């Protein structure tokens, strides 16, 4: 009984630590599979882009229009 209580308390502490940096759902997944926290080698593609005059544009557009602009640009770049 005491060993089980200590194990549960330790699991709770680990979960609380993970939840400081991750959502509760992700913290639960990480606690269930510690291998997810290990480094992995992957081939990926990264896209960096800059929208000229974006700050100026976003101040003049509505939030919805700003999101649409970004969506349109990303669709064109990733197409």
The whole-model pTM stands at 0.45
**Confidence at residue 44, expressed as pLDDT on a 0 to 100 scale:** 93
Residue 1 has pLDDT above 90, yes or no: no
Q: What is the CA radius of gyration of the chain?
A: 22
What's the number of CA atoms in the CB half-sphere (13 Å) around residue 8?
5
31 burial via Cβ count (<10 Å: 0-12, 13-18, 19+): middle
Q: How does pLDDT run across 21-41, given as a tens digit for each residue?
A: 888 898 888 888 878 888 889
Q: How does pLDDT run across 31-70, given as a tens digit for each residue?
A: 888 788 888 899 998 888 899 999 999 999 999 999 999 9
**Confidence at residue 56, expressed as pLDDT on a 0 to 100 scale:** 96
Tokens of 48: 């960096």
**Confidence at residue 52, expressed as pLDDT on a 0 to 100 scale:** 93
- 28 to 7, 13, 53, 72: CA distances (angstroms): 16, 12, 42, 36
């Amino acid at each position: 009984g005491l060993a089980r209580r200590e194990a549960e308390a330790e699991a709770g502490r680990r979960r609380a630590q993970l939840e400081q940096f991750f959502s509760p759902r992700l913290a639960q997944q990480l606690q269930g599979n510690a291998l997810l926290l290990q480094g992995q080698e992957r081939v990926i593609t990264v896209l960096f882009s800059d929208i000229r005059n974006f700050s100026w544009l976003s101040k003049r557009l509505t939030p919805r229009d700003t999101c649409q602009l970004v969506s349109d640009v990303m669709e064109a770049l990733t197409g």
